[in-house]
Amino acid sequence: MDIKREDLLQLYYYLKLTRRFEDRISSLYHQGKILGGAWTSNGTEAVSVGYGYALERNDIAAPYFRDMGVFLIRGITAKRIMAQYFGKKTGVTGGKEGNVHIGDINFGVIGFPSHLADNYPVGTGAALAFKMRGEKRVAVACTGDGGTSRGDFHEAMNFAAVRKLPIVFICNNNQYAYSTPLRLQMTIKNVAERALAYDMPSKTVDGNNVVEIYKAAKEAYEVARNGGGPTFIECKTMRMHGHSEHDSAKYVPRELLEEWKKKDPILNMEKYLLENTIARKEDMEGIELRVKKEIEEAEAFAEESPYPEPDDGLKGLYATPIEEV
Amino acid sequence: MKEITYLEAIREALDEEMARDPSVFILGEDVGVYGGAFRVTEGFYEKYGEWRVLDTPLSESGFTGAAIGAALVGMRPVAEMQFADFISCAFDQLVNVAAKNHYRWGAATPIVVRAPYGGNIHGGAFHSQCIEGFFYNVPGLKIVAPATAYDAKGLLKAAIRDNDPVIYCEHKYLYRRIKDQIPEEDYIVPIGKARIAIEGSDVSIITYGAMVHTATEAAKVLKGSGVSCEIIDLRTILPLDKKSIMNSVKKTNKVVILHEQTKTGGVGAEVSALISENCFDYLDGPIIRIAAPDTPVPYSAQMEEVFIPQPKEVINAVEKLMRY
């Protein structure tokens, strides 16, 4: 599969934007400027950027919480997400929700519930609707390695396989579910082996290689779009921060982090772009500046935005409110 | 007008809504080829095909989640729990996903979950439960529980057209025991509105579901001894029709709350608190709750009869209240 130069540069741009944006979130969290907690995808950005960028405009994403790349790529702006982290009225959910609990159906993004793998059945339902209506659209759902132990993961995989639904399941296998390492999560070597039970095609890819993930997702989407049914893609990567920014992750051996640091997805992509003479150092510096500006603007927007009215929290429970006479 | 059973009313509502709106579809266990464990969707598979009457794997959480996802992209799914008891497997999807979507991120989730519930059928602990209490403390859901064939049809149509997740509690005991005259033409029964099943002046019996008929039996007996009972059939139990409840209490000044659900933390506790908070000055006596005891539903007929509230208990409660 050939990838156009402009797409490769966009992949790099979103990798950078995701990394820098979440770095800023992390700093602001430690400065006490963020309400509640902060979760980042540090070290694993290639997963959400790769599978998110491979989607078509009309497709649907049912992401999880380390999917900042997907939110940004779908068009939910850094400004709105930063404002969400600040609990502002201009945030994605107007202050009703915080941090990575992001969803906006107008951008084809289904809201993320904290209960991991909940979005596997939900994404499956969107795919079911596409198939019933004969639409050439696909859904993608994502969870982490820990989420694959839950029943919802298996119920969705099974249902999608039985009905050959146009969905692609992604697993961001970042080695740890909070503090629990893979060896206490499952006995299999690759998460992708879970798909065997459903006779579902699967693939294990380098989760730090955005190009590889993009290609695998794109291919799987095309199979799904053309009636070939679901695919499971495991992206092997490493969570380089704690579960959340308050967690020092002392339970992760330092040598493991050192080893993975050398395989950083952004460094990987820079090397790829330079070696294949797709971009020069100046091009990448230009992208870095663009990203920096975007984040500064997002932060200023969030700072300046008003807080919601306290009573706004009492509104919006129902889509069809019941009038009290 | 025509006469149909409670079960036929549910079937007609589903059929007419599916014919009217191509986004309406049914999913669940054995709903397709077999026509549903209670035969509610009999003939639908032949009429609407396997993609609109979808037999799913045995996976309540999975197919409820799928209903939610389909609803988010424009469908109006009706998910059938084979027995309401199995809805516990889908608890997370209903409580954390469906109920909170609109509040959290503004997305409407128009799903209906049909829950064949209730006892008196010798089904034991896993085929007889009233499940409304499990969901009563969950803002964002709507829960309806029709007592008549007329309401069964009208409420189901309203639920399907509603943009929020609705748990539709259909009482298994009533399926083939209750018949009503219903109009030939399309109608709905609005969600959120109670009805006065029997008008009266001495005491209000506030109830829903199969217990409306238990209350009616009691009221007939009490009428013979000169006591005029008003029966409020809640129809929608979440959110409550506060106005109808309070109007009746202000009129009769005496209240019995009756439900088949177990007593502690049940719908009756909420109705009772609502009355205490808002109508205290109107009360002539204590609010009396009649509900199932706080045990699982027993199997043996003798024990189940003790479990399910009986007309005699209602009569005793009303007679006690009449002394105030």
Please tell me the distance from the alpha carbon of residue A114 to that of residue A146, in angstroms, as a whole number. 13
Q: In chain A, which among 143-162 make CB contacts under 8 A with chain B? A: 151-152, 155-156, 158-159, 162
Nearest CA-CA partner of B114 in B142, B92, B82, B137: B82
In a domain, A182, yes or no: yes
- Tokens describing residue B240: 């409550």
B64 to A121: CB separation less than 8 angstroms, yes or no = yes
Q: pLDDT of A205-250, one tens digit each?
A: 999 999 999 999 999 999 999 999 999 999 999 999 999 999 999 9
In a domain, A324, yes or no: no
Residues of B whose CB is below 8 A from A104: 105-106
What is the 3-class SS of B240-293, one letter each residue?
A: CCHHHHHHHHHHHCCEEEEEEEECCCCHHHHHHHHHHHHHHHHCCCCCEEEEEC
Please tell me the distance from the alpha carbon of residue B7 to that of residue B149, in angstroms, as a whole number. 8
Domain boundaries, position A178: 5-314
Q: Which residue from B65, B105, B162 is facing A122, i.e. has the nearest CB?
A: B65
Q: What is the pLDDT of residue A25?
A: 98
Kindly give, in sequence order, each residue whose CB lies less than 8 Å from that of residue B140, ignoring residues fewer than 6 positions away.
Answer: A317, A318, B98, B99, B100, B101, B102, B103, B164, B165
Strand, coil or helix: B209: coil
B62 to A152: CB separation less than 8 angstroms, yes or no = yes
The domain B2-182 belongs to what CATH superfamily? Thiamin diphosphate (ThDP)-binding fold, Pyr/PP domains (3.40.50.970)
Asked whether B143 and B90 are in contact (CB, 8 A), the reply is no
Which of A109, A130, A152, A324 to probe the B interface (max B CBs under 10 A)? A152
Which of A122, A137, A167 to probe the B interface (max B CBs under 10 A)? A122
Task: Determine the distance in angstroms separating the CA of A233 from the nearest CA of chain B, rounded to an integer.
Answer: 20
A159 to B139: CB separation less than 8 angstroms, yes or no = no
Q: Do domains B2-182 and B195-322 have the same CATH topology?
A: yes
Q: Provide the 8-state DSSP code for A308.
A: P
pLDDT band of residue A1 (cuts 50, 70, 90) is confident
Please tell me the distance from the alpha carbon of residue A262 to that of residue B274, in angstroms, as a whole number. 63
Asked whether B253 and B318 are in contact (CB, 8 A), the reply is no
Strand, coil or helix: A314: helix
In a domain, A322, yes or no: no
Please tell me the distance from the alpha carbon of residue A310 to that of residue A305, in angstroms, as a whole number. 15
Residues of B whose CB is below 8 A from A153: none
Neighbours of A83 (CB within 10 A): 26
Q: pLDDT of A2-14, one tens digit each?
A: 999 999 999 999 9
Strand partners, A288: none
Residues of A whose CB is below 8 A from B71: 125
**A127 touches B: beta carbon within 8 Å:** yes
pLDDT band of residue A99 (cuts 50, 70, 90) is very high
In a domain, A55, yes or no: yes
- Tokens describing residue B78: 């009706």
Residues of A whose CB is below 8 A from B73: 60, 105, 125-126, 129-130
- Tokens describing residue B181: 């005259």
Q: What is the pLDDT of residue A323?
A: 75
Nearest-Cα residue of chain B relative to residue A125? B66
CA A306 and chain centroid, separation? 28
Residues of B whose CB is below 8 A from A139: 69
What value does the mean pLDDT take over residues A304-311? Answer: 97
* DSSP-H helix ranges across A31-150: 45-53, 68-74, 78-85, 119-132
Asked whether B234 and B189 are in contact (CB, 8 A), the reply is no
pTM over 0.80, yes/no: yes
Q: pLDDT of B82-134, one tens digit each?
A: 999 999 999 999 999 999 999 999 999 999 999 999 999 999 999 999 999 99
Complex ipTM value: 0.97
Q: Which helix (H) or strand (E) covers residue B53, if one does?
A: strand B53-55
B195-322: CATH architecture: 3-Layer(aba) Sandwich (3.40)
Please tell me the distance from the alpha carbon of residue B27 to that of residue B322, in angstroms, as a whole number. 49
A111 to B103: CB separation less than 8 angstroms, yes or no = no
Q: What is the pLDDT of residue A137?
A: 98
Nearest CA-CA partner of B66 in A323, A37, A175, A141: A141
What value does the mean pLDDT take over residues B179-208? Answer: 98
Q: Which residue from A60, A122, A318 is facing B102, i.e. has the nearest CB?
A: A318
- Tokens describing residue A206: 């380098």
Nearest-Cα residue of chain A relative to residue B79? A125
Strand partners, B169: B115
Q: pLDDT of A181-208, one tens digit each?
A: 999 999 999 999 999 999 999 999 999 9
Residue B195 has pLDDT above 60, yes or no: yes
Q: What is the pLDDT of residue A324?
A: 64
**A192 touches B: beta carbon within 8 Å:** no
Boundaries of every domain in chain B = 2-182, 195-322
Q: pLDDT of B311-322, one tens digit each?
A: 999 999 999 999
The active-site residue out of B102, B127, B171, B213 is B127
Mean pLDDT of chain A: 97
Residue A325 has pLDDT above 60, yes or no: no
In a domain, A306, yes or no: yes
Q: Provide the 8-state DSSP code for B185.
A: S
**A313 touches B: beta carbon within 8 Å:** no
Q: Which residue from B59, B96, B100 is facing A159, i.e. has the nearest CB?
A: B59
Domain CATH number, residue A151: 3.40.50.970
Residue B186 has pLDDT above 80, yes or no: yes
Q: In chain B, which among 184-223 make CB contacts under 8 A with chain A? A: 191-192
> Is B213 a residue of the active site?
no
Residue B76 has pLDDT above 90, yes or no: yes
What value does the mean pLDDT take over residues A34-45? Answer: 95
The active-site residue out of A251, A280, A290, A307 is A251
Residues of A whose CB is below 8 A from B51: 131-132
In a domain, A289, yes or no: yes
Q: How many domains does chain A have?
A: 1
Q: What is the pLDDT of residue A180?
A: 97
Q: In chain B, which among 39-58 make CB contacts under 8 A with chain A? A: 51-52, 54, 56-57
